[in-house]
Structure 1
Amino acid sequence: MASTAAAAAASTTTTASPSSPSSAPKRDKPLHSLFAGATAGAVEAAITYPTEFVKTRAQFGGQREAPLTILRTTIKERGFTGLYAGCGALVVGNAAKAGVRFLTYDHFKSMLADEQGRVSAPRSLLAGLGAGMAEAVLAVTPSETIKTKLIDDAKQPTPQYRGLVHGTVTIVRKEGLRGIYRGLIPVMARQGANSAVRFTTYTTLKQFVQSTARPGQQLPTTITFGIGAVAGLVTVYATMPLDVIKTRMQSLGARSQYRGALHCAYRIATEEGIARFWTGTGPRLVRLVLSGGIVFTVYENVMRVIA
């Protein structure tokens, strides 16, 4: 009987979620966090990409286009596959981004956790901020820049890029590595805020649910998805202005229009109005709500399988 109880306790410890440590925490292996995060990021990007495409198109300068108008026009002119222009860059980048995000977040969180393995909201915010900054430099900025340029190019009468590889090679050849690191500062700000808000919301809600409704139990997939979706909802409204500035700084005409992120923000505010900072909120809201649910659900299920 004692051995059965011990085995059950060991099993619970092994499968404990990295996002909310149990009372007997066991730090996840870095390679497990990296693999599970990369898998979750790739799955999420492939499923939700059309919303990212519409959001990015809506945020470009010039004539304003409603999300539904962009959707209808793109499908009419280029077919359904037109909604996947630049998708390869986002899938690769999202896999790398999520892998780095979960790896660094788990590392920072384990450093900041108390004796019971619990992480307070301020410490979770700090861990998320560090994870966001790391992913911005290592993965997000290059993939987002390439994706944005490919989407911007796809709406031109005669597109110059023939796909992910050709587009990346052409951008690097013409602009150097700086060409794929354009908009680094707003990306770092956005990703730091994204991860800080999302992880803090997710971790706080999950710890609350586990401590009140399901003490000592694994949360079912439906609850994990719901908590992740709420985290995505909060993240959208908190970080939307940074996302708009990031998109403008990575567009094809950014070099001739903006001297930097602050100049870009100033021009948007004075020439187009403050409300312009929330352009594309609808598509991004759809994506991040789904993203929050998909990413955390896939991540935790992959961790349970490989841990």
Structure 2
Amino acid sequence: MATKRKDPAVYTLTAGSIAGAIEATITYPTEFVKTQLQLQQGSKSSSPVQKSATAPKGPIDILVSTVRTQGLTAIYRGLSAMVIGNTAKAGVRFFSFEQYKNLLKDSEGKTTGVRSVLAGLGAGMTEALFVVTPSETIKTKLIHDGNSANPQYRGLVHGVKTIVKAEGLGGIYRGVIPVMARQGANSAVRFGVYSSLNDLVKARMMASGTQQMPAAYTFGIGAIAGIVTVYTTMPLDVVKTKMQGLNARQLYSGVFDCCWKVFKNEGLLSFWNGATPRLARLSMSGGIVFSIYESTMTILRKLDNFSPLHS
């Protein structure tokens, strides 16, 4: 009986990167709206009269007002940073998740329950440190800069050069602690839910004699994992965004100071600002990413079968 070959690490890295790039491009408008919602709340207390008269009230209003005043391309401001970051992030996420999962396998070679959550936590922390923090900081600053009367960044490359020149490399690592906390929690919850539901559905399908899981099932499981992830990690996302804004250094002395000021000035529910567009994005992205990842892995495995090494 032939043993199942282990997927090469480059396969998980490639499949994850492709999935991340496609997902970021499709869902970016929701990310733009979510970031705008979180940034506008951050400056509300400084000029309440002005903000109440001019600030958009919700996701739809932000989209409509942005397109009307700045054009359709404005809702894609910061997309290049997001696509580059998401491509690398997803690649690192799936690659590191597989590595951690292999390390955490039990005596039967399985990774279930708490072990999957721990593998996801490790993957999230890894991607946050190497990819997410700089890409998210740049994306947030580009979006925030676009709200000013005289934007100082002329694009991704110019923005990065300006940020590094003014703040040093630390300028693109703003908010690293909440980013690592958010990504660790994101991946722990997402992979934990996905792995549990995936194993459950596969077991039922195999019991009924079905070997291949339909793409619609994978999309649905990924979407459910995305929904659960949103509401459990939203406060970390809000703090992350506020600490990466243009005026964050003047407003907050650190993570705990940021948390306290958000709670004091805006209330407990403000930690869930932007939940609706983030829910739209993560419910879609969960389905998109896992579906494309699984499809790409299937293609790579089939191509591998034609390799002379395995003929």
Given the two structures, how large is their TM-score scaled by the length of structure 1? 0.91
CA distance in 2, matches of 1:218, 1:261: 46
Question: Which deviations, in whole Å up to 9, do the C-alpha atoms of 1:174-224 show, x marking residues without a partner?
Answer: 111000000000000000000000000000000000112334722110000
In structure 1, the partner of 2:35 is: 56
Structure 2 residue corresponding to 1:106, chosen from 98, 102, 118? 98
SS in 2 for 1:214: helix
Percent of matched pairs sharing the same residue: 55
**Any conservation in 2 of the 1:145–1:181 contact (CA below 8 Å)?**
yes
Shift, 1:145, TM fit? 0.1
Q: What whole-Å deviation, never above 9, does each CA across 1:103-134 have from its counterpart, x for those lacking one?
A: 00001111212354431210001000000000
In structure 2, stretches of 5+ residues that fail to align are 45-54, 302-311
Q: Determine the structure 2 residue equivalent to 1:3.
A: none
Deviation at 1:171, TM superposition (A): 0.7
Q: How far apart, in 1, do the equivalents of 2:43 and 2:164 lie?
A: 26
The one-letter code sitting in structure 2 at the alignment partner of 1:244 is: V
Correspondence 1:271 to 2:265 = yes
**Helix, strand or coil for the counterpart of 1:27?**
coil
Would you say the 8 A contact 1:189–1:242 is kept in 2?
A: yes
1:239 alignment counterpart: 233
Q: TM-score, normalised by structure 2?
A: 0.89
Tell me which moved more, 113-122 or 206-215: 113-122
Counterpart in 1 of 2:65? 73
Q: Give the whole-Å Cα distance in 2 for the aligned partners of 1:218 and 1:124.
A: 22
Is contact 2:205–2:211 with CA below 8 Å preserved after alignment?
Answer: no
Aligned to 1:158: 150
- The CA RMSD measured in Å over matched residues stands at 1.3
Partner of 1:256: 250
Moved over 4 A (4+): none
Q: Which amino acid aligns with 2:270?
A: R
| Inter-partner Cα distance in structure 1 for 2:203 and 2:107 | 16
Please tell me whether residue 38 in structure 1 is matched to residue 17 in structure 2.
Answer: yes
Q: Deviations over 1:50-72 (max 9, x none)?
A: 00000000001124631111111
Match of 1:23 in 2: none
Picking from 181, 184, 195, the partner of 2:176 is 184
CA displacement, residues 200-250 of structure 1 (integer Å, 9 cap, x when unaligned): 000000000011233472211000000000000000000000000000000
Question: What is the total number of aligned residue pairs between the two structures?
Answer: 286
State the alpha-carbon separation in 1 of the partners of residues 291 and 107 from structure 2.
26
Q: Distance in 1 between matches of 2:206 and 2:64?
A: 45
How far off is 1:28 after superposition? 1.9
1:175 and 2:167 correspond: yes
CA distance in 2, matches of 1:277, 1:161: 28
Structure 1 260/302 Cα, relative in aligned 2: closer, same or farther at 3 Å?
same
Letter in 2 for 1:275: L
Letter in 2 for 1:52: E
Match of 1:138 in 2: 130
- Contact 1:33/1:102 (8 A) holds in 2: yes
SS at match of 1:186: helix
Structure 1 CA distance, aligned partners of 2:43 and 2:172? 23
The one-character-per-residue Cα deviations of 1:275-306 (angstroms, maximum 9, x if unpaired) are 00000000000000000000001111111111
